[in-house]
Amino acid sequence: MSSSPFRFFQFAAPARFYGLAGVLVPWCWAAFAALAAVGLWIGFFVAPTDATQGESYRIIFIHVPAAWMSMLLYLVMAFWAAIGWAFNARLASMTARAIAPTGAMFTFLALWTGALWGKPTWGTWWVWDARLTSELILLFLYAGFLSIVSAIDDPRRADRAGALVAIVGSINVPIIYFSVKWWNTLHQGASVSVNAAPKMASTMLTAMLLMTLAFWAYAFAVVFTRARAIVLERDRHAGWVREAAGVAPRAGAPRMQT
């Protein structure tokens, strides 16, 4: 049974996940530092100047990956929240909680860098454009999820309520993505698409993809770190937590399974 592909699911146990995440976090931070350094160097010093927007376009190397991450992390959060709700999987619900602050941060970063880009391009910091407005709604959805899971004292009830918010709110993600196609907006269309050739120089595309990978590595690092803290908080009375802290387990307390 040890060679079965289902062996991966042993990490669904909070104690085993805690150990695995602790091993992965330093590697994720190292990957983030390396990828971000190379991506920013190519984006700001190697990529050519845009013929139309000049140097101001270089903010896309932060703005576009942040916007991608804001949408993808919301879908991942909603997925794990739904798994936790449907199967009463505690770790899945804890993972959803750990993802939410990082997703909210990337959403704020996308909005902030978009404003910095919009000022020299459009002549204004903000317009009630379909893409911008739906991205702002995404930030409110993240805030709503975080607020409701924090406001309810019972963790299981909070997880279920948060899952409902996350699942219903996921309908906003395709609206963000397709808004530039469905409505006449100021926001430019996608420069990178899975069904069309890139509309940018290869060095620009390389920098953008490297920054996207860097942001993924960052997300894994902080989500794993936050999830470990949530696991410790939820299981603070379990024997394996006391063992991990170097405290002798109480009589009758459950011990970590090996």
In DSSP terms, 50 is beta-bridged to 54
Could you give the CA distance from residue 254 to residue 246 in angstroms, rounded to a whole number?
15
Q: By three-state DSSP, how is residue 62 classified? A: helix
Each domain of the chain, given as residue ranges in start order, spans 39-47+56-232
Contacts by residues 250-258 (CB-CB < 8 Å, ≥ 24 positions apart) = 256/15, 257/13, 257/15
Could you give the CA distance from residue 116 to residue 158 in angstroms, rounded to a whole number?
37
Cβ(211)–Cβ(25) below 8 Å? no
Q: What is the pLDDT of residue 198?
A: 57
Q: By three-state DSSP, how is residue 97 classified? A: helix
Q: How far is CA 198 from CA 30, 203, 204, 205, in A?
A: 29, 11, 10, 8
Residue listed under structure tokens 């040890």 = 2
Cβ(97)–Cβ(230) below 8 Å? yes
Residue listed under structure tokens 């896309």 = 60
Name the residue among 1, 230, 203, 202 with its Cα closest to residue 95: 230
Could you give the CA distance from residue 219 to residue 40 in angstroms, rounded to a whole number?
17
Read off the amino acid at residue 216.
Answer: W
Report DSSP letters for 16-29, one per residue: HHHHHHHHHHHHHH
User: Any idea what the Cα angle at residue 141 is, between residues 140 and 145, rounded to 5°?
Assistant: 115
Question: Maximum Cα–Cα distance for the chain, whole Å?
Answer: 72
Cβ(169)–Cβ(103) below 8 Å? no
Cβ(147)–Cβ(137) below 8 Å? no
Q: What is the pLDDT of residue 183?
A: 64
Query: pLDDT tens, position by position, for the chain (258 residues)?
Result: 445 554 556 667 788 888 899 999 999 999 999 999 999 999 999 998 887 788 888 999 999 999 999 999 999 999 999 999 999 999 999 999 999 999 999 999 999 999 998 888 778 888 888 888 999 999 999 999 999 999 999 999 999 999 999 999 999 999 998 887 776 665 565 555 545 545 677 899 999 999 999 999 999 999 999 999 999 888 776 666 767 665 554 555 444 443
